[in-house]
Amino acid sequence: MQPPNPIMVRVVEEPVEATTVADVLLGSLGLAGALILTAAVLGAILGATLIGIKLLRARYNLEPAQDLQELRVTPGATRP
């Protein structure tokens, strides 16, 4: 018995798309936009939280403890 002829297989890779300057710029603008949007949303959440705390303090008459040393920034203030 003769061995069968060897089978030659040639693997052809798919062509790689070239990355252009426009692709890089669009990607960076997209990333910057996502970061700005995230910062705006987190800022709105923090602002709403601070306003909510202030409103709750006003509603229940809960004032924060005052510091023992206050800054006196008035024109007629004198040093002790």
**Average confidence (pLDDT) over 40-68:** 88
* pTM for the model: 0.58
**20 inside domain:** no
Mean pLDDT score, 34-62: 95
The answer to the question of residue 54 being in a domain is yes
- Residue with more model confidence, 56 or 80: 56
- Whether 34 maps to a domain, the answer reads yes
Let me know if residue 30 belongs to a domain.
yes
Residue 73 lies in a domain: no
Residue 32 belongs to some domain of the structure: yes
Domain coverage including residue 44: 25-61
Distance separating alpha carbons of residues 25 and 19, to the nearest angstrom:
11
What is the pLDDT, as a whole number, of residue 69?
Answer: 60
- SS3 percent helix, strand, coil of the chain, rounded to 5, is 50, 0, 50
Number of structural domains in the chain: 1
Residue 48 one-letter amino acid: A
Least confident of 11-15, 44-48, 72-76: 72-76
Tell me, yes or no, whether 42 lies in a domain. yes
pLDDT of 66 strictly over 80 = no
